[in-house]
Protein backbone atom coordinates (compact mmCIF):
# COMPACT_ATOMS: atom_id res chain seq x y z
CA UNK A 1 0.00 0.00 0.00
CA UNK A 2 2.71 2.46 1.06
CA UNK A 3 4.76 1.41 -1.91
CA UNK A 4 2.06 2.19 -4.41
CA UNK A 5 1.28 5.65 -3.04
CA UNK A 6 4.92 6.64 -2.61
CA UNK A 7 5.52 5.47 -6.14
CA UNK A 8 2.98 7.91 -7.57
CA UNK A 9 4.40 11.15 -8.92
CA UNK A 10 3.01 14.35 -10.39
CA UNK A 11 3.60 15.13 -14.06
CA UNK A 12 6.78 17.05 -13.20
CA UNK A 13 8.18 14.04 -11.35
CA UNK A 14 7.67 15.03 -7.68
CA UNK A 15 6.20 12.48 -5.27
CA UNK A 16 2.44 12.99 -5.02
CA UNK A 17 2.47 13.14 -1.22
CA UNK A 18 5.05 15.93 -1.12
CA UNK A 19 3.24 17.87 -3.84
CA UNK A 20 -0.04 17.62 -1.95
CA UNK A 21 1.59 18.77 1.28
CA UNK A 22 3.21 21.70 -0.51
CA UNK A 23 -0.09 22.69 -2.10
CA UNK A 24 -1.89 22.44 1.25
CA UNK A 25 0.67 24.53 3.08
CA UNK A 26 0.50 27.11 0.29
CA UNK A 27 -3.29 27.27 0.66
CA UNK A 28 -2.89 27.63 4.43
CA UNK A 29 -0.37 30.44 3.97
CA UNK A 30 -2.71 32.21 1.54
CA UNK A 31 -5.66 31.99 3.92
CA UNK A 32 -3.50 33.25 6.77
CA UNK A 33 -2.17 36.14 4.68
CA UNK A 34 -5.73 37.39 4.19
CA UNK A 35 -6.26 37.46 7.95
CA UNK A 36 -2.78 38.78 8.81
CA UNK A 37 -3.39 42.53 8.28
CA UNK A 38 -6.41 42.53 10.57
CA UNK A 39 -4.72 40.33 13.12
CA UNK A 40 -1.79 42.75 13.22
CA UNK A 41 -4.18 45.69 13.56
CA UNK A 42 -6.09 44.05 16.41
CA UNK A 43 -2.85 43.09 18.17
CA UNK A 44 -1.64 46.68 17.96
CA UNK A 45 -4.86 48.42 18.92
CA UNK A 46 -6.44 45.90 21.27
CA UNK A 47 -4.09 43.24 22.65
CA UNK A 48 -1.17 45.61 23.20
CA UNK A 49 -3.19 48.29 25.08
CA UNK A 50 -4.64 45.58 27.32
CA UNK A 51 -1.17 44.10 27.92
CA UNK A 52 0.05 47.60 28.72
CA UNK A 53 -2.86 48.06 31.13
CA UNK A 54 -1.92 44.80 32.88
CA UNK A 55 1.64 46.03 33.25
CA UNK A 56 0.31 49.37 34.55
CA UNK A 57 -1.63 47.54 37.26
CA UNK A 58 1.68 46.46 38.80
CA UNK A 59 3.43 49.78 38.33
CA UNK A 60 4.18 51.43 41.60
CA UNK A 61 5.47 54.91 40.84
CA UNK A 62 3.61 57.21 43.26
CA UNK A 63 5.94 56.56 46.19
CA UNK A 64 9.01 54.89 44.71
CA UNK A 65 9.73 57.84 42.39
CA UNK A 66 9.68 60.39 45.18
CA UNK A 67 11.53 58.38 47.84
CA UNK A 68 14.76 57.15 46.20
CA UNK A 69 16.94 57.20 49.34
CA UNK A 70 14.48 55.21 51.42
CA UNK A 71 14.13 52.77 48.52
CA UNK A 72 17.90 52.33 48.53
CA UNK A 73 17.86 51.67 52.28
CA UNK A 74 15.10 49.06 51.85
CA UNK A 75 17.12 47.42 49.07
CA UNK A 76 20.15 47.09 51.37
CA UNK A 77 18.22 45.84 54.39
CA UNK A 78 16.07 42.77 53.75
CA UNK A 79 12.52 42.41 55.00
CA UNK A 80 12.41 41.88 58.77
CA UNK A 81 15.49 43.92 59.65
CA UNK A 82 15.14 46.54 62.36
CA UNK A 83 14.19 50.05 61.26
CA UNK A 84 17.30 51.98 62.30
CA UNK A 85 18.28 55.62 62.44
CA UNK A 86 19.63 55.20 58.90
CA UNK A 87 16.15 54.49 57.56
CA UNK A 88 14.70 57.52 59.34
CA UNK A 89 17.50 59.71 58.00
CA UNK A 90 16.78 58.51 54.45
CA UNK A 91 13.06 59.13 54.97
CA UNK A 92 13.64 62.68 56.23
CA UNK A 93 15.91 63.44 53.29
CA UNK A 94 13.24 62.10 50.92
CA UNK A 95 10.52 64.08 52.67
CA UNK A 96 12.57 67.25 52.17
CA UNK A 97 12.94 66.42 48.45
CA UNK A 98 9.20 65.73 48.22
CA UNK A 99 8.44 69.12 49.76
CA UNK A 100 10.74 70.78 47.21
CA UNK A 101 9.10 68.83 44.33
CA UNK A 102 5.58 69.28 45.77
CA UNK A 103 5.00 65.50 45.79
CA UNK A 104 4.24 64.61 49.45
CA UNK A 105 0.53 64.36 48.60
CA UNK A 106 1.25 61.91 45.80
CA UNK A 107 3.48 59.75 47.99
CA UNK A 108 0.98 59.90 50.83
CA UNK A 109 -1.83 58.87 48.47
CA UNK A 110 0.13 55.79 47.44
CA UNK A 111 0.69 54.70 51.05
CA UNK A 112 -2.89 55.65 51.86
CA UNK A 113 -4.15 52.78 49.66
CA UNK A 114 -2.86 50.24 52.16
CA UNK A 115 -2.67 52.29 55.38
CA UNK A 116 -5.60 54.72 55.46
CA UNK A 117 -5.06 58.23 56.82
CA UNK A 118 -1.48 58.76 55.74
CA UNK A 119 -1.87 61.64 53.27
CA UNK A 120 -1.91 64.28 56.02
CA UNK A 121 0.89 62.47 57.88
CA UNK A 122 3.18 62.84 54.87
CA UNK A 123 2.16 66.42 54.14
CA UNK A 124 2.76 67.53 57.74
CA UNK A 125 6.13 65.79 58.03
CA UNK A 126 7.33 67.06 54.63
CA UNK A 127 6.57 70.65 55.62
CA UNK A 128 8.87 70.32 58.64
CA UNK A 129 11.49 68.00 57.12
CA UNK A 130 13.96 70.85 56.50
CA UNK A 131 13.99 71.86 60.16
CA UNK A 132 14.43 68.40 61.66
CA UNK A 133 17.74 67.61 63.35
CA UNK A 134 19.34 64.26 64.18
CA UNK A 135 18.54 61.88 65.68
CA UNK A 136 15.83 61.71 63.04
CA UNK A 137 14.06 58.72 64.52
CA UNK A 138 13.17 60.58 67.71
CA UNK A 139 12.48 63.80 65.80
CA UNK A 140 9.93 62.18 63.45
CA UNK A 141 8.24 60.20 66.20
CA UNK A 142 8.01 63.37 68.26
CA UNK A 143 6.25 64.94 65.27
CA UNK A 144 3.75 62.09 65.05
CA UNK A 145 3.86 58.77 66.88
CA UNK A 146 2.42 57.06 63.76
CA UNK A 147 5.90 57.21 62.19
CA UNK A 148 6.93 54.29 64.40
CA UNK A 149 3.99 52.09 63.29
CA UNK A 150 5.19 48.76 61.81
CA UNK A 151 2.32 48.76 59.30
CA UNK A 152 3.47 52.11 57.91
CA UNK A 153 7.00 50.79 57.41
CA UNK A 154 5.70 47.59 55.83
CA UNK A 155 3.57 49.69 53.47
CA UNK A 156 6.52 51.96 52.59
CA UNK A 157 8.71 48.93 51.94
CA UNK A 158 6.27 47.39 49.47
CA UNK A 159 5.63 50.79 47.86
CA UNK A 160 9.33 51.50 47.36
CA UNK A 161 9.85 48.96 44.58
CA UNK A 162 8.93 49.92 41.00
CA UNK A 163 6.52 47.02 40.63
CA UNK A 164 4.25 45.42 43.19
CA UNK A 165 1.04 43.48 43.48
CA UNK A 166 -0.23 45.86 46.16
CA UNK A 167 -3.00 47.21 43.94
CA UNK A 168 -4.55 43.77 43.59
CA UNK A 169 -4.51 43.50 47.39
CA UNK A 170 -6.28 46.86 47.53
CA UNK A 171 -8.73 45.76 44.86
CA UNK A 172 -9.80 42.85 47.05
CA UNK A 173 -10.17 45.16 50.05
CA UNK A 174 -6.99 44.22 51.92
CA UNK A 175 -5.12 46.72 54.09
CA UNK A 176 -2.03 46.62 56.28
CA UNK A 177 -2.80 45.29 59.74
CA UNK A 178 -1.17 46.74 62.87
CA UNK A 179 1.85 44.42 62.58
CA UNK A 180 2.31 45.29 58.92
CA UNK A 181 0.86 42.07 57.51
CA UNK A 182 -2.07 41.97 55.09
CA UNK A 183 -5.53 41.80 56.61
CA UNK A 184 -9.08 42.53 55.60
CA UNK A 185 -9.84 46.23 55.75
CA UNK A 186 -12.27 47.78 58.20
CA UNK A 187 -15.96 47.22 57.45
CA UNK A 188 -16.55 50.63 55.86
CA UNK A 189 -13.43 50.32 53.69
CA UNK A 190 -14.54 47.07 52.07
CA UNK A 191 -15.99 48.46 48.88
CA UNK A 192 -14.54 46.61 45.93
CA UNK A 193 -15.53 43.01 46.67
CA UNK A 194 -18.98 44.29 47.55
CA UNK A 195 -19.12 46.11 44.22
CA UNK A 196 -17.94 43.05 42.26
CA UNK A 197 -20.59 40.93 43.98
CA UNK A 198 -23.23 43.58 43.35
CA UNK A 199 -22.23 43.79 39.68
CA UNK A 200 -22.64 40.04 39.31
CA UNK A 201 -25.95 39.96 41.19
CA UNK A 202 -27.40 42.86 39.19
CA UNK A 203 -26.18 41.26 35.94
CA UNK A 204 -27.85 37.99 36.95
CA UNK A 205 -31.11 39.81 37.70
CA UNK A 206 -30.91 41.62 34.34
CA UNK A 207 -30.16 38.33 32.54
CA UNK A 208 -33.09 36.63 34.23
CA UNK A 209 -35.52 39.43 33.41
CA UNK A 210 -34.29 39.46 29.81
CA UNK A 211 -34.91 35.71 29.63
CA UNK A 212 -38.41 36.00 31.09
CA UNK A 213 -39.34 38.77 28.66
CA UNK A 214 -37.60 37.28 25.62
CA UNK A 215 -38.91 33.73 25.92
CA UNK A 216 -42.57 34.41 25.02
CA UNK A 217 -41.84 36.80 22.18
CA UNK A 218 -39.12 34.58 20.71
CA UNK A 219 -41.62 31.72 20.77
CA UNK A 220 -44.28 33.88 19.13
CA UNK A 221 -41.83 35.04 16.44
CA UNK A 222 -40.71 31.48 15.75
CA UNK A 223 -44.23 30.10 15.39
CA UNK A 224 -46.03 32.90 13.53
CA UNK A 225 -46.18 32.78 9.73
CA UNK A 226 -43.25 34.47 7.95
CA UNK A 227 -45.02 37.68 6.91
CA UNK A 228 -46.26 38.50 10.42
CA UNK A 229 -43.07 37.46 12.20
CA UNK A 230 -40.92 39.62 9.88
CA UNK A 231 -43.05 42.59 10.81
CA UNK A 232 -42.80 41.90 14.55
CA UNK A 233 -39.08 41.20 14.20
CA UNK A 234 -38.65 44.87 13.27
CA UNK A 235 -39.89 45.77 16.75
CA UNK A 236 -37.00 43.73 18.19
CA UNK A 237 -34.39 44.99 15.75
CA UNK A 238 -35.26 48.68 15.97
CA UNK A 239 -34.08 49.00 19.60
CA UNK A 240 -30.98 47.06 18.58
CA UNK A 241 -30.18 49.70 15.97
CA UNK A 242 -31.14 52.70 18.04
CA UNK A 243 -28.42 54.63 19.80
CA UNK A 244 -27.77 53.48 23.35
CA UNK A 245 -27.85 57.08 24.55
CA UNK A 246 -31.26 57.58 22.95
CA UNK A 247 -32.64 54.54 24.77
CA UNK A 248 -31.11 55.64 28.06
CA UNK A 249 -32.52 59.15 27.61
CA UNK A 250 -35.95 57.63 26.93
CA UNK A 251 -35.84 55.76 30.21
CA UNK A 252 -34.95 58.94 32.07
CA UNK A 253 -37.96 60.57 30.43
CA UNK A 254 -40.23 57.66 31.30
CA UNK A 255 -39.10 56.86 34.82
CA UNK A 256 -38.25 60.15 36.49
CA UNK A 257 -40.54 61.46 39.20
CA UNK A 258 -42.22 64.00 36.93
CA UNK A 259 -41.93 61.51 34.08
CA UNK A 260 -44.42 59.76 31.86
CA UNK A 261 -44.89 56.54 33.88
CA UNK A 262 -45.44 58.37 37.15
CA UNK A 263 -47.86 60.78 35.44
CA UNK A 264 -49.88 57.89 34.03
CA UNK A 265 -50.00 56.16 37.41
CA UNK A 266 -51.13 59.38 39.07
CA UNK A 267 -53.72 60.01 36.36
CA UNK A 268 -55.06 56.48 36.82
CA UNK A 269 -55.25 57.10 40.53
CA UNK A 270 -52.99 54.16 41.38
CA UNK A 271 -50.63 56.37 43.35
CA UNK A 272 -51.07 59.80 44.92
CA UNK A 273 -49.33 62.87 43.56
CA UNK A 274 -47.10 62.94 46.64
CA UNK A 275 -46.37 59.22 46.43
CA UNK A 276 -44.59 59.26 43.09
CA UNK A 277 -42.32 56.26 42.68
CA UNK A 278 -38.57 56.69 42.64
CA UNK A 279 -37.57 54.52 39.69
CA UNK A 280 -34.49 56.31 38.44
CA UNK A 281 -31.06 57.07 39.87
CA UNK A 282 -31.18 53.82 41.81
CA UNK A 283 -30.86 50.10 41.16
CA UNK A 284 -34.34 49.91 39.67
CA UNK A 285 -33.31 52.40 36.99
CA UNK A 286 -30.22 50.36 36.13
CA UNK A 287 -32.14 47.08 35.98
CA UNK A 288 -35.04 48.39 33.87
CA UNK A 289 -32.93 50.35 31.40
CA UNK A 290 -30.33 47.61 30.98
CA UNK A 291 -32.98 44.92 30.53
CA UNK A 292 -34.38 46.99 27.69
CA UNK A 293 -30.96 47.63 26.17
CA UNK A 294 -29.88 43.98 26.28
CA UNK A 295 -33.22 42.32 25.46
CA UNK A 296 -32.52 41.95 21.70
CA UNK A 297 -29.33 40.00 22.54
CA UNK A 298 -31.55 37.46 24.28
CA UNK A 299 -34.37 37.38 21.73
CA UNK A 300 -32.17 36.74 18.69
CA UNK A 301 -30.33 33.57 19.89
CA UNK A 302 -33.56 32.18 21.41
CA UNK A 303 -35.44 32.83 18.20
CA UNK A 304 -32.86 31.14 16.01
CA UNK A 305 -33.00 27.99 18.17
CA UNK A 306 -36.80 27.93 18.49
CA UNK A 307 -37.09 28.32 14.73
CA UNK A 308 -35.47 24.90 14.28
CA UNK A 309 -37.79 23.05 16.71
CA UNK A 310 -40.40 21.13 14.66
CA UNK A 311 -43.94 21.83 15.92
CA UNK A 312 -44.80 18.17 15.30
CA UNK A 313 -42.91 17.16 18.47
CA UNK A 314 -45.33 19.09 20.64
CA UNK A 315 -48.29 17.63 18.75
CA UNK A 316 -46.87 14.14 19.14
CA UNK A 317 -46.52 14.65 22.89
CA UNK A 318 -50.10 15.87 23.14
CA UNK A 319 -51.41 12.95 21.10
CA UNK A 320 -49.62 10.57 23.49
CA UNK A 321 -51.58 12.07 26.34
CA UNK A 322 -49.28 14.72 27.81
CA UNK A 323 -50.91 17.84 29.21
CA UNK A 324 -49.87 21.15 27.67
CA UNK A 325 -47.74 21.92 30.74
CA UNK A 326 -45.95 18.57 30.52
CA UNK A 327 -45.44 19.08 26.81
CA UNK A 328 -43.83 22.42 27.47
CA UNK A 329 -41.69 21.20 30.36
CA UNK A 330 -40.56 17.83 29.01
CA UNK A 331 -40.55 18.36 25.25
CA UNK A 332 -40.31 22.02 24.26
CA UNK A 333 -38.16 23.57 27.02
CA UNK A 334 -35.28 21.06 26.80
CA UNK A 335 -35.00 21.75 23.09
CA UNK A 336 -34.66 25.50 23.69
CA UNK A 337 -31.79 25.06 26.17
CA UNK A 338 -29.03 25.86 23.64
CA UNK A 339 -30.75 29.16 22.90
CA UNK A 340 -31.25 29.92 26.59
CA UNK A 341 -27.55 29.21 27.27
CA UNK A 342 -26.38 31.32 24.33
CA UNK A 343 -28.63 34.28 25.10
CA UNK A 344 -28.07 34.22 28.86
CA UNK A 345 -24.30 34.02 28.60
CA UNK A 346 -24.18 36.80 26.02
CA UNK A 347 -26.45 39.10 28.03
CA UNK A 348 -24.58 38.35 31.26
CA UNK A 349 -21.18 39.02 29.67
CA UNK A 350 -22.40 42.31 28.20
CA UNK A 351 -24.11 43.36 31.46
CA UNK A 352 -21.10 42.75 33.71
CA UNK A 353 -19.01 45.31 31.84
CA UNK A 354 -21.69 47.94 31.25
CA UNK A 355 -20.79 51.54 31.87
CA UNK A 356 -22.98 54.13 30.13
CA UNK A 357 -26.44 53.14 31.32
CA UNK A 358 -25.55 52.71 35.02
CA UNK A 359 -23.59 55.96 34.88
CA UNK A 360 -26.63 57.86 33.62
CA UNK A 361 -29.57 56.17 35.36
CA UNK A 362 -27.91 54.26 38.23
CA UNK A 363 -27.61 57.07 40.77
CA UNK A 364 -25.48 56.15 43.78
CA UNK A 365 -26.44 52.52 44.40
CA UNK A 366 -27.00 51.41 40.81
CA UNK A 367 -23.33 51.77 39.88
CA UNK A 368 -21.38 48.80 38.58
CA UNK A 369 -17.68 47.96 38.73
CA UNK A 370 -17.06 49.74 35.39
CA UNK A 371 -18.16 53.00 36.97
CA UNK A 372 -15.64 52.48 39.78
CA UNK A 373 -12.88 51.92 37.21
CA UNK A 374 -13.88 55.15 35.49
CA UNK A 375 -13.94 56.94 38.86
CA UNK A 376 -10.36 55.93 39.63
CA UNK A 377 -9.24 56.85 36.10
CA UNK A 378 -10.63 60.35 36.59
CA UNK A 379 -8.88 60.58 39.97
CA UNK A 380 -5.59 59.59 38.29
CA UNK A 381 -5.35 56.42 40.39
CA UNK A 382 -4.12 54.67 37.27
CA UNK A 383 -2.69 51.51 38.82
CA UNK A 384 -5.75 50.79 40.96
CA UNK A 385 -8.07 51.39 37.98
CA UNK A 386 -5.91 49.02 35.94
CA UNK A 387 -5.95 46.36 38.68
CA UNK A 388 -9.77 46.52 38.97
CA UNK A 389 -10.04 46.34 35.17
CA UNK A 390 -7.70 43.34 35.13
CA UNK A 391 -9.86 41.46 37.64
CA UNK A 392 -12.96 42.26 35.58
CA UNK A 393 -11.12 41.13 32.45
CA UNK A 394 -10.30 37.75 33.99
CA UNK A 395 -13.96 37.25 34.91
CA UNK A 396 -15.05 38.17 31.37
CA UNK A 397 -12.48 35.90 29.74
CA UNK A 398 -13.67 32.94 31.82
CA UNK A 399 -17.24 33.63 30.71
CA UNK A 400 -16.10 34.08 27.10
CA UNK A 401 -14.28 30.75 27.23
CA UNK A 402 -17.43 29.15 28.63
CA UNK A 403 -19.48 30.73 25.85
CA UNK A 404 -17.09 29.39 23.24
CA UNK A 405 -17.21 25.88 24.76
CA UNK A 406 -20.98 25.78 25.19
CA UNK A 407 -22.18 27.79 22.22
CA UNK A 408 -19.26 28.46 19.89
CA UNK A 409 -18.30 31.98 18.85
CA UNK A 410 -19.03 31.24 15.22
CA UNK A 411 -22.72 30.93 16.15
CA UNK A 412 -22.94 34.64 16.96
CA UNK A 413 -25.31 36.37 14.53
CA UNK A 414 -27.41 39.52 14.31
CA UNK A 415 -30.84 39.58 12.76
Partner 1 sequence: MALPTYASPLEKVWYYAFRVICAVVFLFLIAPILVVIPLSFNAEPYFTFTEKMLAFDPAGYSMRWYDTLLTLGSSAPDGPRDSGWWSATWESATWIKAAKNSLWIGFWATILATSLGTLAALGLSRPEMPYRRLITAILISPMIVPIIIIAVGMSFMFAKACVDSGSALGTILGPFLSNRGCLANSDLGVIVAHATLGIPFVIITVTATMSGFDQSLIRASASLGANPRTTFFKVIMPLILPGVISGALFAFVTSFDEVVAVLFIAGPEQQTIPRQMFNGIREQISPAILAVATILVIVSILLLTTVELLRRRSDRLRGVTGR
| Site membership for partner 1, residue 282 (CB under 8 A) | no
> Which of 342, 346, 347, 368 is CA-nearest to residue 357?
368
| 77: alpha, beta or left? (left if phi > 0; alpha if psi -120 to 50) | beta
| Site membership for partner 1, residue 191 (CB under 8 A) | no
Peptide bond preceding 135 in cis form (omega within 30 of 0) = yes
- Minimum CB distance to partner 1, residue 30 (Å): 8
- Minimum CB distance to partner 1, residue 143 (Å): 37
Alpha-carbon span 188 to 168, nearest angstrom = 18
Alpha-carbon span 78 to 272, nearest angstrom = 70
Count of residues binding partner 1 (CB under 8 A)?
96
- Contact letters (x/-) for partner 1, 349-388, by CB under 8 A? x--xxxxx--xx---------x--xx--x----x--xx--
The single residue among 42, 148, 270, 337 that binds partner 1, judged by CB under 8 A, is 42
- Minimum CB distance to partner 1, residue 27 (Å): 4
Distance of CA 56 to the CA centre of its chain: 16
Query: Closer CB to partner 1, residue 118 or residue 207?
Result: 207
The single residue among 123, 247, 276, 341 that binds partner 1, judged by CB under 8 A, is 247
Q: How many CA atoms lie within 13 A of 189 on its CB side?
A: 18
| Site membership for partner 1, residue 275 (CB under 8 A) | no
The single residue among 16, 31, 271, 398 that binds partner 1, judged by CB under 8 A, is 31
Alpha-carbon span 72 to 70, nearest angstrom = 5
With contact defined as beta carbons under 8 Å apart, do 325 and 314 qualify? no
- Minimum CB distance to partner 1, residue 377 (Å): 6
What single DSSP character describes residue 116? T
Beta bridge partners of 183: 175
Query: Closer CB to partner 1, residue 185 or residue 339?
Result: 339
Alpha-carbon span 293 to 313, nearest angstrom = 34
The single residue among 14, 307, 329, 379 that binds partner 1, judged by CB under 8 A, is 307
| Site membership for partner 1, residue 111 (CB under 8 A) | no
The single residue among 3, 7, 13, 38 that binds partner 1, judged by CB under 8 A, is 38
Query: Closer CB to partner 1, residue 125 or residue 171?
Result: 171
Stretch of 125-133, 156-164, 189-197, 252-260 lying at the interface with partner 1 (CB under 8 A): 252-260
> Which of 155, 213, 167, 188 is CA-nearest to residue 347?
213
The single residue among 183, 186, 253, 337 that binds partner 1, judged by CB under 8 A, is 253
- Minimum CB distance to partner 1, residue 376 (Å): 9
With contact defined as beta carbons under 8 Å apart, do 289 and 362 qualify? no
Amino acid sequence: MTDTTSGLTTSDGRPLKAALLAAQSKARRRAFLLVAPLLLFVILTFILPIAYMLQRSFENDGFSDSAPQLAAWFAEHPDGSEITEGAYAALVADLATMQANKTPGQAGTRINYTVPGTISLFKAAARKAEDLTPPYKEALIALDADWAAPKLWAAMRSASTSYSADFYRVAIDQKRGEAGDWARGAERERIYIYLFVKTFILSAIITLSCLLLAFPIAHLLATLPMAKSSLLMILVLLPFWTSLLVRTTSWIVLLQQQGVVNNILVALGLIGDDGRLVMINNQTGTIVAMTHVLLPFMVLPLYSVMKTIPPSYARAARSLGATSWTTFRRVYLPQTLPGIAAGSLLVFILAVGYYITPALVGGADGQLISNMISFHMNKSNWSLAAALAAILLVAILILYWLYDRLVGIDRLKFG
